[in-house]
Amino acid sequence: MMKIIYTLLAITLTSNVLNGQGISISSEDLFAKANLSYEKKRYSDAQILYQQLVDADYSSKELFYNLANTYFKMKKYGYAVFYYEKAIRLDPSDEDIVFNLELTQLYLKDKIITPPDFFVYDISKKIMRSLSTNTWAVMSLLGWYIFVGLILLGKIHRMQRRYVKILITTVGIYLLFCTINFGAGVYSRAKTQEAIILNAAADVKSEPDNAGSIIFVLHEGTKVQIRSKKADWFEIKLRDGKVGWLRRDDLGIL
């Protein structure tokens, strides 16, 4: 399933990027060169080319997905997980991204046991994460347009008011559902910041200082929740409740 995507949908044809030699090249050409390197199994070259687009602040599901596949081939599983996670946040419904992320997680060393959520909360969380926040926003906006349109239609066509009321109620439920999921997604992102361990191993300290004692060790690809920041240190929390401090260099912030 480590196929790549050949069209960089989120990048315009007119945009340019400086390559490694400082020469201006279109983003589409750079993306095509990276894909060609990947096809020829020159994964280090592909990684450099994809990374140039990322460093130029381009953001798309296709770019992150292809870069993640490249890191997987290079057996850099921390970076692979990081970019799969970034891709899946742009399109949670993409089955290829979900599959490749789950496949990569099989290679990870840390197996964090997570306490089970209450089933209602677990289901609602899965529904919210089934679509991106932007998609929920678009669906909510569409619902508002339809909702207002039906209200106006009900005032114009009084003879069909009964049927219009049924439609208004149905659309209202749909609108409420989409709006709740959109709001929950925005709140979740604002409240919870996550990161991925990028390095092969990272010492988690008892305090934000190199002199702090090592309380446990995490390995590449493990997801952590960021609780606070102090200088170049982040206080992190695992899904099993463990907490500690990591240096910024160990983390890829999602």
Span 19-49, pLDDT tens digits? 444 444 678 888 889 999 999 999 999 999 9
Out of 88-102, 108-122, 168-182, pick the least confident.
108-122
- pLDDT for 17 equals 44
Strand ranges in 128-219 using DSSP code E only, listed in sequence order: 193-197, 201-205, 214-219
189 has a pLDDT exceeding 80? no
Are residues 10 and 60 in contact, defined by beta-carbon separation less than 8 angstroms? yes
CB 132, CB 92: distance < 8 Å? yes
User: What letter would DSSP give residue 208?
Assistant: S
pLDDT higher than 60, residue 15: no
Q: What is the predicted pLDDT for the residue at 36?
A: 92
Kindly report whether the global pTM for this prediction surpasses the value 0.75.
no
Could you tell me the CATH superfamily of domain 16-105? Tetratricopeptide repeat domain (1.25.40.10)
Q: Where are the domains of the chain?
A: 16-105, 119-191, 193-253
What one-character-per-residue DSSP string does 35-92 give?
Answer: HHHHHTT-HHHHHHHHHHHHHTT---HHHHHHHHHHHHHTT-HHHHHHHHHHHHHH-T
Domain at 193-253, CATH class:
mainly beta
Q: How far apart are CA 166 and CA 171, in angstroms?
A: 9
pLDDT band at 9 (very low <50, low <70, confident <90, very high): very low
Least confident of 16-20, 133-137, 185-189: 16-20
pLDDT bracket for residue 18 (50, 70, 90) = very low
- pLDDT for 160: 60
* Distances 22 to 48, 98, 247 between C-alpha atoms, Å: 14, 36, 32
